[in-house]
Structure 1
Amino acid sequence: MGRRPRIEYEGAIYHVIQRGNNQEYIFADDSDKAYLLKQIDECRRGLGFRLFGYVVMGNHYHLLLKTERKPLSKIMHRINGNFARHFNLKYQRSGHVFQGRYKAILIQDERYLLAVLRYIHRNPVAAGVSDTTTDYAYSSDNYYRRQQGWPVDIDMVLDCLADDRLKALEKYQELMAQEDDTDYEDQDVIGEESFSMTVRPRSEVAERKPLDAILMDTGASPDDYQQIKAGSRRRHLTPYKRRYIEFALEQKYTLKEIGENIGLTANAVFDLWKRQ
């Protein structure tokens, strides 16, 4: 069976997991953990993505991020390539450093993001290498608590917990103390079933009606049809767009495919659809 296609679109949130080749401890030396985090930070500033959390363990690492200008594939190629060159040179070796391609789990929104962040930060505790999340130096937990370590974007997460920053930090600490036995690695999409259906790759769905034909089925006039296709945001076109999205989802098109046909991002399509 071939590899599943990546689900990638601008603004997507991912839980990324990358393991060492053959489960080797490629981060056994703390200086190697620090070097990886330096590469992640430089890549974040150079390629423009939002980083919400990370942890670097002995034989693997986790990232929680949101893509912006560049696709996830380019981001991970840069990070892993830079680290692999450093690792092979430092230890005078050659060959693969990482185990195949990384795993990227698509996350619906901030409700699920919080649970995954807790899972990432509690990785050292679950593995028995740390008594608490704060005891482990190579995760973003301490940056949330006291802005120590490599920087991450904490605002979105803390704003989800409370408007007042001190109250948000209290709730964050409570969240990190909670245990959760959910396996956030053994899945491809984290979210509601309806969201999972909208992001299925094209190869997994049967023959579908063309998107332009679906748009015409909404009852839009020829002039309205042309305006929608041109990306117009006029208010009277909204009902037709919502009908088009609903019909297209029934045909198993992805958010990205639906949006590209009428000049919207995948996030904008989802926001318009869920407000119905």
Structure 2
Amino acid sequence: MTFTCKARAPLFSDATIARAAARTLTERRLWRDSHLLCWVLMPDHWHGLIELSAAESLSTLATRIKAISARTVAVAAERSGPVWASGFHDRALRKDDDLLTAARYIIRNPVRAGFCARVGDYPYWDAVWL
């Protein structure tokens, strides 16, 4: 399943805030029984490919991710107020969808946006296949 959370403002253009958000969004305890397969943090959103645990709903996972990361970002940004826009966007992968194709699409976001020429030049992404 692909999963996208929009930020209320392009907070993640700031390296200190982006590093804090990336550290928090990838903490294993945040994901519990679900698995984060790949992710990219863009200036105005976070996009991930996840394997959702049967034990929890996407809504519950999204609420936890956004709440915990918002606290970290607020401290790093030295500001209060909402970090994430309400809701999220998700797309379930069908059985015939290729996981690696979905992962490549996600991590190529910075290249498509013109932030870098190669994915490896962008600092805020990762994938379990590396």
C-alpha distance in 1 between matches for 2:21 and 2:95 = 27
Higher relative contact order (CA closer than 8 Å, sequence separation 6+)? 2
**Which amino acid in the other structure matches residue 84 of structure 1?**
A
1:64 corresponds, among 42, 49, 61, to 49
With normalisation by structure 2, the TM-score equals 0.84
Check conservation: 1:43, 1:75, Cα contact below 8 A: no
1:133 match: 119
Q: Find the residue that maps to 1:131 and give its secondary structure.
A: coil
How large is the Cα RMSD of the aligned pairs? 2.2
C-alpha deviation, 1:93, in angstroms: 3.1
With normalisation by structure 1, the TM-score equals 0.43
Gaps of 5+ in 1: 1-13, 141-151, 155-168, 170-276
C-alpha distance in 1 between matches for 2:31 and 2:102 = 25
Gaps of 5+ in 2: none
Cα 1:102–1:43, aligned 2, differ >3 Å: closer, same or farther? farther
C-alpha deviation, 1:67, in angstroms: 1.0
1:47 match: 32
Query: How many percent identity over aligned positions?
Result: 27
Cα 1:34–1:90, aligned 2, differ >3 Å: closer, same or farther? closer
Would you say 1:103 and 2:89 are equivalent positions?
A: yes
1:81-131 deviations in Å (ceiling 9; x for gaps): 112122333434332211221111111136332222111111111000010
Higher Cα Rg: structure 1 or 2?
1
Would you say 1:80 and 2:63 are equivalent positions?
A: no
More strand by share: 2
C-alpha distance in 1 between matches for 2:101 and 2:56 = 25
C-alpha deviation, 1:71, in angstroms: 2.1
